[in-house]
């Protein structure tokens, strides 16, 4: 009696989040950033409460260039939200330290921002964020540069994440400004009201 060929077919096991993250890391090493972003996105879909694939997705999207800055900002925003939620009520885990190269890019970005060379500054901040996906200063600079360029929606998404991670008054006012320019007046007012309440507490 002939064997049933259907019984001989073994369905390949689905990759889990960790495997997909490793796959994404391998794509990054090969500079295949689009494929990397896809792998991280699948990992994030399988493990929706883990900020790591979102941080890595943001890095890969930044590497694809300015057309993907907004998508990167959304991924970063989600990562920060999950990171904060995961550490609620306890001492937060320290974010990874920054490398000398990252600090140099941020410094150059700051210098260009002061000279009103906003697009060039945005590129340097993006490079710094690619290298260190949790660097608040890199994303703060990127948000300010995008705001100056006139990419208000993108800037608002970036600066919301920055404020969530470091809720200082300065970051809050930058975020509120971006929200208003993006046409999100209600969100800006809510943010400012929350800041005023926190100050009076």
Q: Is 49 exposed, middle or buried (0-12, 13-18, 19+ CB in 10 A)?
A: exposed
Tell me how far CA of residue 142 lies from CA of 66, 145, 150, 157, in angstroms: 11, 5, 12, 11
Task: Write the CB contacts of 23 (distance below 8 Å, at least 6 apart in sequence).
Answer: 15, 39
Looking at per-residue pLDDT, the higher value among 26 and 165 belongs to 26
Looking at per-residue pLDDT, the higher value among 126 and 192 belongs to 192
Residue 13's pLDDT is 53
User: pLDDT class for 102, splitting at 50, 70, 90?
Assistant: confident
Residue 159's pLDDT is 92
Ordered structural domains, the chain, with CATH: 17-86 (1.25.40.10), 102-200 (1.25.40.10)
Are residues 45 and 55 in contact, defined by beta-carbon separation less than 8 angstroms?
no
Instruction: Report how far residue 96's alpha carbon sits from residue 15's, in angstroms, rounded to the nearest whole number.
Output: 27
Q: Mean per-residue pLDDT for 164-180? A: 91
- Residue 37 pLDDT > 50: yes
Instruction: Report how far residue 20's alpha carbon sits from residue 18's, in angstroms, rounded to the nearest whole number.
Output: 5
Q: Mean per-residue pLDDT for 64-70? A: 80
Tell me how far CA of residue 125 lies from CA of 42, 115, 140, 182, 184, in angstroms: 26, 15, 8, 21, 25
Task: Write the CB contacts of 165 (distance below 8 Å, at least 6 apart in sequence).
Answer: 80, 83, 84, 136
Q: Is the pTM of this model over 0.75?
A: no
């Amino acid at each position: 009696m002939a064997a049933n060929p259907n019984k001989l077919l073994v369905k390949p096991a689905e990759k889990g989040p960790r495997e997909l993250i490793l796959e994404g890391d391998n794509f990054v090493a090969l500079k295949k950033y689009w494929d990397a972003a896809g792998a991280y996105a699948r990992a994030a879909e399988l493990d929706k409460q883990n900020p790591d694939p979102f941080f890595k997705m943001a890095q890969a999207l930044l590497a694809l260039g300015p057309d993907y800055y907004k998508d990167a900002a959304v991924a970063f925003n989600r990562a920060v939200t999950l990171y904060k939620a995961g550490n609620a009520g306890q001492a937060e885990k320290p974010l990874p330290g920054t490398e000398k190269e990252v600090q140099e890019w941020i410094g150059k970005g700051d210098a260009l921002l002061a000279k009103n060379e906003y697009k060039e500054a945005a590129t340097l901040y993006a490079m710094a964020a690619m290298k260190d996906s949790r660097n608040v200063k890199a994303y703060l600079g990127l948000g300010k540069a995008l705001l100056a360029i006139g990419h208000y929606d993108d800037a608002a998404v970036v600066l919301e994440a920055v404020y969530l991670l470091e809720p200082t008054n300065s970051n809050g006012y930058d975020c509120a400004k971006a929200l208003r320019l993006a046409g999100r007046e209600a969100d800006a007012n809510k943010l400012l009201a929350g800041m005023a309440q926190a100050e009076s507490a």
